A = this chain, B = another copy of it.
């Protein structure tokens, strides 16, 4: 009916559909592989981003921007993670409106335990099945598309 749009060529449609499937299936698999660690994919992202700072602390605004999350989303998720003891939030001494996010020992611990499994998952689900040059091409292509104006 409308599925066989003639605004895309048959080839375009096929390739796009396949890519669209990857877009949904791959993240779902990576997320599922993480379940046994007790961390969700968003949890892992938060912990791993926080851990990149030497002091393991970050203000919400920059933190959200770095993660490309909305501040609201990060605040909500952080509230849940704080309740689980993975991170803490403290008032910013330099700006009373601000909030400093901090990785706890437990959070770091959880991340360290989950990381090898996650890396293995990325390999098994993706990297192992790409030719050397394919990954590089995929990286370049991804950057080009992702860097387009919003």
Chain B residues with CB under 8 A of A137: 134, 137
Q: Across chains A and B, which 6 residue pairs bring their CB atoms closest together, nearest first?
A: A15-B139, A22-B142, A1-B51, A3-B52, A18-B142, A7-B119
Instruction: Given A11-B136, A141-B134, decide whether A129 and B112 contact each other with a Cβ distance below 8 A.
Output: no
A115 vs B143: C-alpha distance when bound (angstroms):
27
* A136–B15 touching, CB < 8 Å: yes
Q: Does A21 contact B (CB under 8 A)?
A: yes
Name A residues whose Cβ lies closer than 8 Å to a Cβ of B.
1-3, 5, 7-8, 11-12, 14-16, 18-19, 21-27, 29, 48-49, 51-52, 54, 56, 68, 108, 111-112, 115-116, 119-120, 122, 125-127, 129-130, 134-146, 148, 150
